[in-house]
Structure 1
Amino acid sequence: MPYVTPEQIERAKQMDLLTYLQYYEPQELVHFSGNVYRTRSHDSLKISNGKWCWWSRGIGGRSALDYLVKVRGLSLPEAVVQIGGQTAALLPVPSKEPASAGPRKLLLPEKNENNDRVIVYLAGRGIKRDIIDYCIQTKRLYESRCYHNAVFVGFDSQGVPRYASLRGTSRRRFMGEANGSDKRLSFSIPARDNSSKLHLFESAVDLMSYCTLELLSGREWRQDFCLSLAGIYKPKQDISESTLPAALTQFLKDFPQISEIALHLDNDAAGRLAAKTIQTILPSHYIVFDEPPERGKDYNEYLRSTLKIRRIQERE
C-alpha cells in the first residue's frame, strides 16, 4: 500500500467529484438534467452543486476522494495516489490532443454565493480593499463554493478565462491550479492606459501586494501592466539552455509595445536565480530592472512589514 503525506491527503480533498470525472474519466459521466450529472456505473449516484449522493445506498460526500473510498472501495492512500496522478496504472491519462486542437477546457471551480472569506483572507494579508474589489468586479477573483478557496483567473486576449490558480483561505496551506489551466495566460492586472512597462511576480498575492504598496504611496496602481508567473520559474542548470516563462512569452507576444520589464521575484535562492536567468535570456532591446522586495522573502511579506511599521509610527 502506498504511503501518502498529510499534505497529499489535503490536496486530494480539494478536488470535487464532477471535476475529477470530467478530467480523468469523462466516459463515466452522464448529464442528467440542468446542472445534475450521474455516473454510468450507478444510475442513482447523482452529482450536483459540489456534492454527490448515491441514493440507492444512502451515502454521499463532496470530494472525489470520498467517492473513490466509499464507492470504488479504494483505500485512502490508493485514492490519494489516484487523484494525485502519481501512479500511472491507477490514473487514466487523457490521450494527447493533436497540435492543431483548440485550447484545453478550463474547469473553473463553482462560485460561492459571496466572496466574504476571500476578502477577509486577502485583507488579512494587507491587501487593500480597492484592489480586491477591482479583481472581483472584473471576474479575476472569486471564492469557490467548495473549500472556499481564492480563485485567481487569467484571461486570453478575447477575455475568455484560460487559467485559474487556487489558494486556500483557511489555516491549512493549499495552493493549486484548476484543471485545464493554461500557464501562458496566468493572472494579470492590465494598465489603465497603454503602458510600455510590465511588472512581473511569482504569485497573484504578490502582485496584489505590490499594487497595494503603490496605492499606499499615492501612485496610480494601474499605471503599468502586472503579471503573475503562476508559480516559481525554474530555469535549466545551464542558463543558456533555458527558455522564458510561458506567461511572460505570451504576454510579450500579446502586448508588443512592452519595452521595460521590472522583475519583482522573491528574495530567496530560487527567485534570485529566476531573475538572473530572465535578465540573461531576454532579448537585448528590453530594459530590465531587478526589483526584489526591500524586506522579507516576497512582496506580501514586504507589504505586511510596511503596514506594521506604519502602525507603529502612527501610535508614536
Structure 2
Amino acid sequence: MSLPYIPREQIAAAREMDLLTYLRRFEPQELVHNGGNVYSTRTHDSLKISNGKWCWWSRNIGGKNALDYLTKVEGVPFLDAVQRILGAVPMLPAAPEQTAPVSKTKFALPPKHADNRRVFSYLHGRGIAPEIINHCIKTGQLYEDGQRHNCVFVGFDGEQPRYATLRGTLSEKRFMGEVPGSDKRFSFAVPLKAGSQTVCVFECAIDALSYLTILKMRGQDWHKANCLSLAGIYRPGKGGRFRIPAALAQYLKDNPNVRQIVLCLDNDEPGRTASVAIKGALADYAVIDNPPRKGKDYNEYLQIRQRAMRQDRARA
C-alpha cells in the first residue's frame, strides 16, 4: 500500500500562506477584527493574529503561518493541512453585504462515565486533596467524560451549565480543550457564588484547586475562599488596549459584594503581563498580585511543597 505523498514544492507553497490570508479565504466566519492590524478568532479569543504571526496566549503556543495553526491549534494532520491550504474550495460569503451573525454552536456537556475513578486518580496524582475533588464532584462542577475519560470542569450561570473545559487523564500528552459552544463568561468557579469580598483568580481550574489544597495544608478553611478560573489569558493589544477577561468581568457583575481581587496567575511572561494589565484595568478594586512563590503555576508550587514535606518526614 503506497503512502500519501506531497512534493516538497507544495509543502513550501503551503508554508507561505499566513493565517490571516487563510482565514479570509477559507474561514471568514472565524475572523474577528480587534482593531488596527490585530485579529482573533471566534473560537479562540485569546489567539491573536498580527504582523504575519499568530500566538495563542492561553496555551502559550504560536506560529508564522496557516500550516502551523492548522496542525498546532486545530489538530489537523500535516498532510491534510497542506492539502486544505492548497486545494480546498474557499468558503466565501454569499454576498459582500451579508452581515448576519454567525450562529453559535449549541452547548452540550459530554456524557458522564459510570464513575469518576480516572479523574480522581489523575487530580490526586497532581496533588489535589481528595476532600476538594469530592466536593467538586458532589456539586456537579467536575466529572469524568464517559467517552474519553477527560476531566470535565463545569462553569455555571446560576444553576445552568454554560461552560466546560477538558483536561486529559489518559494520554501522555497534556490535552486541554473546551466543549464546543462554551460561554467563557461562565467559567469554573469554587464556590458557585462568592461568599466573601475577595476572589482569587487563576489561569485554569487545576491551579484553583491547587490553591485550595495549599490552604487546607496550612490548616485554613478552604471553603471560605472564592476561586475563579479565567480559562486562559491574553495580552494587551497594540497601544496598550486591554479587555478584562470575560470570566472575571461576569464574575464581578454577578457578585457585586466582591471588592478585592487576588491575581494568582502563572510565573511566566504571559502571566506577569496579564497581571499588570488586569490590575491597571480594575482601578475601582483592590487588586493584589500573588503569583506562586515557586514554580511556574500553583499546581507546580503545590507539588514542590508536598515533596518538601515528604522529605522532611523522611529525615525525621
TM-score w.r.t. length of structure 2: 0.68
CA 1:315–1:91: 2 relative to 1, 3 Å: farther
Q: 1:182 corresponds to which letter in structure 2? A: D
Q: 2:121 corresponds to which letter in structure 1? A: V
What does residue range 148-297 of structure 1 map to in structure 2 within 5 Å? 148-157=149-158, 159-170=159-170, 171-190=172-191, 194-239=195-240, 241-282=241-282, 284-297=283-296
Q: 2:165 corresponds to which letter in structure 1? A: S
Are the aligned partners of 2:212 and 2:225 in contact in 1 as well (CA < 8 Å)?
no
1:120 CA drift (Å) = 0.5
Q: Distance in 1 between matches of 2:107 and 2:197?
A: 30
Residue 300 of structure 1 corresponds to 299
1:146 CA drift (Å) = 1.5
1:225 CA drift (Å) = 1.4
Q: Distance in 2 between matches of 1:122 and 1:104?
A: 29
> Which of 54, 77, 80 is equivalent to 1:78?
80
C-alpha root-mean-square deviation of aligned residues, in Å? Answer: 3.1
Q: 2:217 corresponds to which letter in structure 1? A: L
CA 1:193–1:233: 2 relative to 1, 3 Å: closer
What does residue range 116-155 of structure 1 map to in structure 2 within 5 Å? 116-155=117-156
Report the count of equivalent residues: 238
Are the aligned partners of 1:200 and 1:264 in contact in 2 as well (CA < 8 Å)?
yes
Residue 311 of structure 2 corresponds to 312
CA 1:152–1:311: 2 relative to 1, 3 Å: same
Are the aligned partners of 2:215 and 2:222 in contact in 1 as well (CA < 8 Å)?
yes
Q: Distance in 1 between matches of 2:177 and 2:82?
A: 15
Are the aligned partners of 1:112 and 1:146 in contact in 2 as well (CA < 8 Å)?
yes
Are the aligned partners of 2:194 and 2:226 in contact in 1 as well (CA < 8 Å)?
no
Q: Distance in 2 between matches of 1:80 and 1:136?
A: 42
1:98 CA drift (Å) = 5.0
1:169 CA drift (Å) = 0.7
SS at match of 1:162: strand
CA 1:290–1:135: 2 relative to 1, 3 Å: same
- For structure 2, the 5+ residue unaligned runs are 1-5, 12-76
1:285 CA drift (Å) = 2.4
TM-score w.r.t. length of structure 1: 0.68
1:178 CA drift (Å) = 0.3
CA 1:156–1:89: 2 relative to 1, 3 Å: farther
